[in-house]
Amino acid sequence: MKVKLGFGSIPKPQYVFVSKESDHCWYMLSDEQRQIPIYDRALTGLITGIEVNKKVETSYGEAEKTDLHILAERPYVVRSGSESYFSKSLLLSLDILTDEQLLQPLTIAVSPGDKTIVFCTIYNPVTFRSVGVSWDGHKEIDWQALGQKVSLKINNLPNINFKHKEISTNTNISEIRAGFIAQSDTYLAQLNWSPEQGREYLQQKYGKRSRHHLSETELLEFIDFLRLQLT
């Protein structure tokens, strides 16, 4: 991920919202809160985290959402209702994937269903094969428990030794580091940590005053520490 010098947009994750419309199934919001349709049906990148049953204030009041964090050419957060078919099919797919598969780039695709329904289908962008999920007995599934299981699985992935990750040739280490820096930015903001607080912790823990000076292992350890503070 190249860093552009000079004036530009604020370096923050781009939120993507799921909604079935006449000609698209997800959209972004402009700075003026205007919906910007996304006509592409798929987003390919590295999954860097997931937040399930997250309480969010909306124009209709408080609602529970699922936020999937993906690193592509920039960090994205795909947000969907926790009770939506998109979120449920996402959880079913992520539950099937192995840790090794989750460390590779994956394609998240929207599939329109009846009425307002949108399904999520995950593909391997190299083999073009989709993750086959079964909806048998879905009414008896404890979705909250499944969400917690998938959340622990996804969010503990950084604990796997970084050098053992087999990342495709289209993804370099600097891109992965940029994604983890962005992920730590999100956690620091949620914790209301000031830049000085972050520097003091890094200095005390690692003898370094910047996340950019941390090794990959130290950076992932720092992300785990921040996540634990939130939970």
Token code pair at residue 128: 């073009």
Provide the β-strand partners of residue 27: 17, 37
Whether residue 221 is contained in a domain is answered as yes
Same domain, 37 and 65: yes
Same domain, 35 and 148: yes
pLDDT at 221 over 60: yes
Per-residue pLDDT at 11? 74
Same domain, 126 and 95: yes
Compute the Cα dihedral for 124, 64, 75, 190 and give only its sign: negative
Whether residue 4 is contained in a domain is answered as no
Whether residue 1 is contained in a domain is answered as no
Provide the β-strand partners of residue 16: 78
Residue 229's pLDDT band (cuts 50, 70, 90): confident
Same domain, 61 and 135: yes
Residue 204's domain comprises: 173-230
Per-residue pLDDT at 145? 93
Number of Cβ within a 10 Å radius of residue 20: 19
Same domain, 180 and 138: no
User: Angle at which helices 143-155 and 85-96 pack, to 10 degrees?
Assistant: 50
Same domain, 21 and 57: yes
Per-residue pLDDT at 189? 87
pLDDT at 139 over 70: yes
Residue pLDDT, tens place only, 30-45? 988 899 999 999 999 9
Q: What is the mean pLDDT of residues 114-132?
A: 91
Q: What is the mean pLDDT of residues 109-136?
A: 90
pLDDT at 122 over 90: yes
Same domain, 37 and 143: yes
Same domain, 131 and 194: no
Whether residue 179 is contained in a domain is answered as yes
pTM for the full predicted model: 0.68
What separation, in Å, do the N-terminal and C-terminal C-alpha atoms of the chain show? Answer: 30
Q: What is the 3-state secondary structure (H, E, C) of the chain?
A: CCCCCCCCCCCCCEEEEECCCCCCCEEEECCCCCEEEECCCEEEEEEEEEEEEEEEEECCEEEEEEEEEEECCCEEEEEEECCCHHHHHHHHHHHHCCHHHHCCCEEEEEEECCCCCEEEEEECCCCCCECCCCCCCHHHCCHHHHHHHHHHHHHCHHHCCHHHCCCCCCCCHHHHHHHHHHHHHHHHHHCCCCHHHHHHHHHHHHCCCCHHHCCHHHHHHHHHHHHHHHC
Residue pLDDT, tens place only, 181-208? 887 888 888 889 988 999 999 999 989 9
